[in-house]
Each structure stands twice: as structure tokens, then as C-alpha cells.
Structure 1
């Protein structure tokens, strides 16, 4: 989708779909309902402009990612200094801050994104232009963890992504944690940092045998 050329009708459909998906679930909302909620006299407008539900879902992510991508790229560019390699925490701030500040309480995007991450039928590749900063920060974080096995690096980055998305979604919700200011964002960055630098015990035979010996209660 060409974000720069998107028209007001598509934006109205995206905004309506985002809210309905959060309130009722992605699989429970029809394209006709979305068209009606967007104020379209032709209730087939959503299907006309986006084709199917999955394409609409991806268009919402891509549309909302534009401002996040711009801010993250700016932060990453500010870290460029050949004489001073980026610190892991700096990279985590570039990953987390743009998403954490894009939608305040009562918004829908982060809760929508959490639904996408939890879906078994939707698997975004983040290969579009507005996800360039996400791909870049993932790569730079992985370089910081070069001492770990590749599969462990991939697993931890995936864990961090889920931690971030669901925590920000929880804050966005009116039922989220009532923590003032940006304290919760600092705490989220701390948790993500700790997750990435934790000792790797996956090949520790003693620990693994102890895990296997633990019976569920």
C-alpha cells in the first residue's frame, strides 16, 4: 500500500476496522460491518479498497507504522558514530519508545497489534517500507548478542517483541497499569534489556535435568 497516496476513504475504513477488531476480535468482524462503521453508504467499500480481511489487517499495521518508522529511523541515525558503537540499551530505546508513545490510553493500535501477534492465521513479515526501522533495529540488536547461539538470539528478540507489544497494549487499555509519566516505559526497557542479556542455560545439562524432574502441580 502506498502510504503517501492513501485517501480519506481508506483512512476512515482503517480507523473503523482497528477499533472493531479490538472490541470484538479480528475474526468476528465482517468487511460489511467495517464499511458501515466507517460511514460508507456502500457497505462493500472495505472489500473494494482492501480485498479481504487479511489485506486490511496488514494495511492497518503498515499505515500506523509510518510515524513509528520515521521516529525510530531518526533515533537510529542519531546513534551512528563509528567511534562509539551503539549500546544495547540505546537500541532498545529506539525499538520501544516510538511504539510506546504513538498511542495513549484509550487508543486502539497497540491492542490491535497485540491481536495480530497472537493470531495463528496472521504472520506479518514486516517486509514493507514502513517497517524498515524495525528490521534495522532487530539486526543491530542481534549483532550486540553475537556471543549467543543464533537460535537463542532469534528466540530472545521474539520474546522482547511480544513483551513490548503486549505491555504497551496493556497500558493503552483503560484497564492497564496506572503508572504516571514515562516510568512504565523505563521499566519496560529495563525488562527487555534483562531478558536479552540473561545467562544462557539452554545447554546446561544439570539445569535441564532439574527442569525435567519437576512434576506439574
Structure 2
């Protein structure tokens, strides 16, 4: 068995957590199974390296966020951004995770945490604070505010849109991991997701709101 110290062990635990959080669920995966899959004899390996299950989950999401950040920062920023342009950037960044099995597993994990982003409160989760991803979310929110959506409805709608995007990518990732042939090819899937999400965000304001 491997030692329970050092960066290699930490990385093995993160990889094992990605796999089991994706397949069994964030709440369903057992720490002992993660430790075993990582090849660690010490049952306290997760606590040693991450402090808790939550700390391990944050490490998984931080790695996923780091990859997404690289994509977002490489995208050109247009001077006159509308909602569709911003949603396209969001979908493009998320789609980069479909390229690898690791990214696909992380898409399945992050979809389970969509309501923890901080969109509803306006206070980002610590792993999102100061990121290009959160700045993109704020720019989308600003465009929605320009359209006259009141604050609570705006946050609710934006949170719903991000949940839809996350669920769509998680299901696409599941199909890839399971070897299932998708109904439509990836370019069409991404284009349709952009249009669907843009339409959701631009839906008419409900009567009485």
C-alpha cells in the first residue's frame, strides 16, 4: 500500500473521489471506499490530507475549476456582449470537460452541486470567488438586469439556467462514460444548449412579477 503523505497520495485520493462521487453520488460515496480505491491503508487518509469529506470535495471542484478557468481566460471578450454571447462562452468552457474521462466525471459531480454556487445569494462559493467563471455569471446577471428582471427573479432564473446547463453536460458525460450513442452529435448538442439556455434566460417576465 502507498504512504498517506505527499502530493502523489493527495492526487490519488482526488482521482478516486472524482470516480466515486460521479458514480455513487456526492452523498452516496463512502470515504473508506475512496481511500481503498486510492490504494491507501490508513483509513484516516482523507482527514489527513483534506480535513473532511467537504474538503476533499472542494479539492475535486478546485481542480475542475482550474481547467475551466484556463479555457475562459483564452476566450476573446467582445465589447458589446449580449446574453447569447455570454452563454456561448459558458457552454464552450464547460464543453472542454467532455474531452477526458476525468472531466466527464467532474461534470457529473458538479451537476450535483449546482445550487451551491452562490448565485441565489450573490455570494460565490469559496472555490468560485474571484474566478473568471464567476465574473462571467455576473456579466450574465447584469444583462438580465438591463432587461428589467427584478433581483430575486433574476437570481432564481439564473440559478435554474445553470442547473439546466449542468444537468445537460452531466448526462452527456454519462453517455460518453457508459459508451452510449447520443441522439445528436456534439456540435448540435452544444449549439442547441446555447439556444435553449438563452431562451430560458430571455423568457418574458411573469405577470405580477
| Paired position in structure 2 for 1:3 | none
Gaps of 5+ in 2: 1-5, 119-123
Q: Secondary structure at the match of 1:173?
A: helix
CA contact under 8 A between 1:20 and 1:34: conserved in structure 2?
yes
1:112-138 deviation line (CA, Å, top 9, x unaligned): 1122237xxx67643336861121011
| Matching residue within 86, 104, 109 for 2:106 | 109
CA RMSD of aligned residues (A): 2.4
Q: Displacement of 1:194 after TM fit?
A: 0.2
Instruction: Say which is worse superposed, 54-63 or 127-136, in terms of deviation.
Output: 127-136
CA contact under 8 A between 1:170 and 1:176: conserved in structure 2?
no
User: How many residue pairs end up in the alignment?
Assistant: 191
| Structure 2 residue 92 is matched with structure 1 residue 97 | yes
In 2 relative to 1, CA 115–44 (structure 1 residues): closer, same or farther, beyond 3 Å? Answer: same
Q: Displacement of 1:42 after TM fit?
A: 2.6
Distance (whole Å) between structure 2 residues aligned to residue 30 and residue 70 of structure 1: 31
Q: Displacement of 1:202 after TM fit?
A: 3.9
Q: Displacement of 1:88 after TM fit?
A: 1.7
Distance (whole Å) between structure 2 residues aligned to residue 110 and residue 129 of structure 1: 16
TM-score by length of 1: 0.78
| Paired position in structure 2 for 1:138 | 137
| Structure 2 residue 66 is matched with structure 1 residue 66 | yes
